[in-house]
């Protein structure tokens, strides 16, 4: 089976776009979570404590929602951070001609150019491209799975925080 270079370049472009989308989503989730935790939850806790109450006085559903919200926000941060962590960059000392992590293992530009010419003259660069795109595709799928988990975790955290706010707002009506 002969692999067409144009097909591989098209496939690489598509997969790389999906890879970038996962990175962008992870950045958005991290930003949202950071802002939400620092401003809303921080202000809620400060106001709650200013009124003479402390987080230690939360009980029942309030305590459960508070812990769930914090845990889910932390989960979203964890999943997003892992999704953004580069995979395979430092995994081996092997050299290659189509992946930046392997290209960086050459001692000099001249060594890299020599390897490119050798692989191209043997027609092996197509195989190198195919392997690189395969690895990129696996990493992209993993990134999207982590971003999906971060999105769910962030959504649950938002919902739990909103329920907590409602409970704290209506709490004086029960007293």
74: pLDDT strictly greater than 80: yes
Distance between CA 24 and CA 46 in Å, rounded?
32
Average pLDDT over residues 147-152: 90
Q: Please determine, for residue 88, whether its predicted confidence score (pLDDT) is greater than 60.
A: no
* Residues whose CB falls within 8 Å of the CB of residue 19, separated by 6 or more in sequence, listed in order: 136, 139, 140, 143
Mean pLDDT of 66-95: 77
- Measure the CA–CA gap between 37 and 19, rounded to whole angstroms: 27
| pLDDT score of 157 | 87
> What is the DSSP code (8-state) at residue 89?
S
- Please tell me which residue, 104 or 28, carries the higher pLDDT value: 28
Task: Confirm if 62 and 168 have CB atoms less than 8 A apart.
Answer: yes
Give residue-wise pLDDT tens across range 30-41.
888 878 777 766
What is the average per-residue pLDDT within 121-131?
80
Q: Output phi, psi for 61, to 5 deg.
A: -65, -35
With H, G, I as helix, E, B as strand and everything else as coil, classify residue 93: coil
Residue 101 near residue 54 (C-beta atoms within 8 A): no
Assign 1 a pLDDT band (cuts: 50, 70, 90): very low
The domain spans of the chain are 5-168
């Amino acid at each position: 089976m002969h692999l067409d270079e144009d097909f591989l370049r098209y496939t690489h472009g598509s997969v790389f776009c999906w890879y970038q989308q996962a990175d962008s989503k992870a950045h958005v989730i991290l930003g949202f979570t950071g802002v939400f935790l620092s401003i809303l939850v921080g202000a809620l806790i400060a106001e709650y404590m200013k009124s003479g109450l402390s987080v230690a006085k939360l009980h029942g559903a309030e305590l459960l929602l508070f812990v769930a919200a914090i845990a889910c926000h932390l989960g979203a941060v964890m999943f997003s951070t892992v999704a953004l962590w580069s995979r395979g960059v430092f995994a081996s000392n092997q050299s290659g001609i189509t992946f930046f992590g392997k290209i960086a293992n050459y001692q000099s530009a001249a060594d890299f150019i020599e390897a490119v010419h050798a692989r191209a003259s043997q027609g092996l660069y197509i195989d190198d491209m195919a392997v690189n795109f395969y690895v990129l595709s696996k990493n992209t799928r993993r990134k999207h799975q982590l971003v999906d988990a971060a999105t769910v975790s962030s959504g649950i955290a938002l919902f739990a925080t909103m329920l907590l706010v409602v409970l704290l707002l209506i709490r004086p009506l029960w007293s």
